[in-house]
A and B are shown apart, each in its own frame.
Chain A
Amino acid sequence: MARKRKIITLILTLITIVLFIITMSPFFIVIINSAKASLEIITNPISMPDHWGQLVENIKTIWSKPTIRYSSSVFSSVIITLFSLTTITLFSAMAAWVLVRTKSKISTIIFLLFLSGLIIPFQVVMFPLVALFRIIKETTGVSMLRTYHGMIMAYIGFGAPLAVFMFHGFIKSIPKELEEAATIDGCSKPQIFFKIIMPILKPIVVTIIILNGIWIWNDFLLPSLVLGVGQDIQTIPLAIRNFAGSFVKKWDLIMTAVLMAAAPVIVGFLFAQKHIIKGMVSGSIK
């Protein structure tokens, strides 16, 4: 019996390793081809590169090519992701808290309204959203298209339903007595929220930041509509689209750009792996 077990475990391990290698092979392909020059990549896409120094050359080219504006895209992506994550988390937590703690018809209706946002696909609202942003510009003079605040506001709106839903469920489990005791001690409502509730929310905050972070960092369709491909402010996916779409397939540079877009997220993941996996699971099961 024990021997049979051992053999089964060995076979399962072998299958896992094979599947793991297959899963990882695209990354391997990207890495070896990022270190090739134009001609080399065409003639031999599966061999190891002639010299790894080419990788540095390619990265330099991508980083400094004026048509890609890679460095400014990294900057924009970081700004948009950071501000969107902060605001989605803070505003959704605030909204969910008052919705849980206020027992009234209006709070039920507003909560249901947020929930309806979970089933509305982006495709239904994308064209009118752009039109509405344009109308806002005409009537009030505030530019929403091609601006950071417009982009971030859009992310709050699309990120809020899920975040409010998740916070709502979590806050319901926090005992009300905790807040009542704080009120007796002289805490104001905002103080209760920021000093007592927010710290308790930490685990779910991590989940929400991870789920939204991966989505916003990689998003293409929403920024392509709000910011526009090839405009002043562009995120990394927009830059890659602009570059890969408008140039004759320069696969060596596309692979390098792909590597440069994927590497930061993967490195970040490896550092925060434990939280992310825990967060993913609790976030998707609810």
Chain B
Amino acid sequence: MNRYTKDKLIFWLFLAPALLSFLLVVIVPFFMGLYYSFTDWTAVAGETPNFLGFANYANMFSDIAFRYSFLRTFLFTLLSVISINFISLTFAFLVTREIKFKNFYRAGFFIPNLIGGLVLGYIWQFIFKSVVPAIGGLLGIDFIEQLLILAEPNLTLFGLIFAFTWQYAGYIMMIYIAALLNVPQELLEASEIDGANFLQKLWNITIPMIAQAFTITSFLTLVNSFKQYDIIIALTNGGPADIYQDHIVNSTELLAVHIYNVAFKYNNMAEGQARAIVFFIVLSFVSIGQVYFSKKREVEM
């Protein structure tokens, strides 16, 4: 064997395990799914799917449950991005100041991120159902005692956002900490000598200096909010019911849950797959658009 063939052999041998697994579980299913979304695929072994064209896609947009789920997912994502970034930036500001035990607090804020979405959902279900009313009773505030966060559709969405923020803010905080530590201290000191107050320093120096981190954190929170599944399954399982355009819909059945339910609960694999494809396209557009506009703003800043 000459050296050239040997190098080639090594190239493919080293590549094979990762590449084959990746092709098998991501790329091949991706194209299979693309094809299935145009058929009446049932996922039953031995049945050959018939080609339907765009029927599954047409059904999707006329399905009120889907439209509702779509809007709710956007609302959830928007509010989560705001809430998580606000909280995590607050955390990061605090723990990069000269306070004692800051590493201890950093670790503490980060810990919820170690809990998986499913387990976390059960914790918050218990808190919302039992602990919140109990606290209301203890304080003697009827409003809190009778507050059923998981029974009223809009409140439930906020409950989800609350639980998700609790989980994810610590992770995003880490990125902000890294960015804040990179802000040159001389700049801040110089502006202080010039008489800049806290807000002026924040607005004119710190925020522009950490613009790059904003791009990353918004991207991460956006994509992760959009794909949220585990927390919902354990916290609300899609409920409670809501009325939308005279139809009963599941108020927290966000897209990832909706896709799963259409395929398995309502037993319609092909339609579930078509919705997944649309999910992918929308997520790609939104996330690429977000990065594009954030990058542009970075330059302006």
**Residues of chain A having any CB pair with chain B under 8 Å:** 9, 12-13, 15-16, 19-20, 23-24, 26-27, 29-30, 33, 41-42, 44-46, 87, 91-92, 94-95, 97-99, 102, 107, 110, 113-114, 116-117, 119-132, 134, 138, 153-154, 156-158, 160-161, 164, 189-190, 193, 214, 217-221, 237, 240-241, 244, 251, 254-255, 258, 261-262, 265-266, 269-270, 273, 277, 280-281, 284-285
Q: Which 3 A-B pairs have the closest CB atoms?
A: A218-B116, A157-B25, A128-B29
Establish whether residues A237 and B112, one from each chain, have CB atoms under 8 Å apart when the complex forms.
no
Which of these, B118, B126, B166, contacts A240 with CB under 8 Å? B118
Instruction: Determine if B177 is an interface residue (Cβ-Cβ < 8 Å).
Output: yes
Q: Distance (Å) between the CB of A58 and the closest chain B CB?
A: 14
Chain B's closest residue to A27 (CB) is: B111
In the complex, chain A residues whose CB is within 8 Å of the CB of B243 = none
Contact A29 to B126, CB < 8 A, known contacts A277-B106, A284-B216: yes
Q: For this complex, into which size category does the number of interface residues on chain B fall?
A: 35 or more
Cα-based distance from A95 to B117 in the complex (angstroms)? 31
Cα-based distance from A237 to B116 in the complex (angstroms)? 8
Which of these, B30, B134, B213, contacts A45 with CB under 8 Å? B134
Establish whether residues A218 and B118, one from each chain, have CB atoms under 8 Å apart when the complex forms.
yes
9 contacts between A and B (CB under 8 A): A19-B91, A94-B17, A98-B15, A121-B227, A124-B276, A154-B25, A220-B229, A240-B122, A281-B175
Establish whether residues B118 and A132, one from each chain, have CB atoms under 8 Å apart when the complex forms.
no
- Which residue of B91, B95, B119, B227 has the most chain A CB atoms within 10 A of its CB atom? B119
Given contacts A19-B109, A154-B25, 19 further A-B contacts (CB under 8 A): A26-B124, A45-B126, A91-B18, A110-B19, A114-B19, A120-B280, A123-B280, A126-B29, A132-B32, A160-B22, A217-B116, A218-B114, A220-B229, A240-B118, A254-B122, A258-B123, A270-B107, A277-B174, A281-B178
Q: Distance (Å) between the CB of A260 and the closest chain B CB?
A: 10
- Which residue of B14, B97, B171 has the most chain A CB atoms within 10 A of its CB atom? B14
In the complex, chain B residues whose CB is within 8 Å of the CB of A33 = 126
Establish whether residues A123 and B256, one from each chain, have CB atoms under 8 Å apart when the complex forms.
yes
Instruction: Determine if B263 is an interface residue (Cβ-Cβ < 8 Å).
Output: yes
- Interfacial residues of chain B within 245-277, with CB under 8 A of chain A in the complex: 255-256, 259-260, 263, 269, 272-273, 276-277
Contact A218 to B216, CB < 8 A, known contacts A125-B29, A157-B21: no
Establish whether residues B119 and A262, one from each chain, have CB atoms under 8 Å apart when the complex forms.
yes
Contact A284 to B27, CB < 8 A, known contacts A12-B97, A99-B15: no
Q: Distance (Å) between the CB of B295 and the closest chain A CB?
A: 15
Instruction: Determine if B63 is an interface residue (Cβ-Cβ < 8 Å).
Output: no
Instruction: Determine if B43 is an interface residue (Cβ-Cβ < 8 Å).
Output: yes
Which of these, A26, A123, A189, contacts B166 with CB under 8 Å? A26
Establish whether residues B119 and A123, one from each chain, have CB atoms under 8 Å apart when the complex forms.
no
Establish whether residues B117 and A220, one from each chain, have CB atoms under 8 Å apart when the complex forms.
yes
- Interfacial residues of chain B within 65-115, with CB under 8 A of chain A in the complex: 90-91, 94-95, 97-100, 105-115
Q: Distance (Å) between the CB of A139 and the closest chain B CB?
A: 11
Establish whether residues B273 and A214, one from each chain, have CB atoms under 8 Å apart when the complex forms.
no
Which of these, B21, B90, B171, B273, contacts A127 with CB under 8 Å? B273
Chain A's closest residue to B226 (CB) is: A121
Chain A's closest residue to B114 (CB) is: A265
Cα-based distance from A219 to B233 in the complex (angstroms)? 13
Establish whether residues A44 and B134, one from each chain, have CB atoms under 8 Å apart when the complex forms.
yes
In the complex, chain B residues whose CB is within 8 Å of the CB of A114 = 19, 22
Instruction: Determine if B190 is an interface residue (Cβ-Cβ < 8 Å).
Output: no
Establish whether residues B115 and A218, one from each chain, have CB atoms under 8 Å apart when the complex forms.
yes
Establish whether residues B94 and A16, one from each chain, have CB atoms under 8 Å apart when the complex forms.
yes
Q: Distance (Å) between the CB of B77 and the closest chain A CB?
A: 13
Cα-based distance from A47 to B255 in the complex (angstroms)? 38
Establish whether residues B18 and A153, one from each chain, have CB atoms under 8 Å apart when the complex forms.
no
Which of these, A116, A157, A189, A277, contacts B110 with CB under 8 Å? A277
Cα-based distance from A190 to B293 in the complex (angstroms)? 44
Chain B's closest residue to A101 (CB) is: B11
Establish whether residues B115 and A156, one from each chain, have CB atoms under 8 Å apart when the complex forms.
no
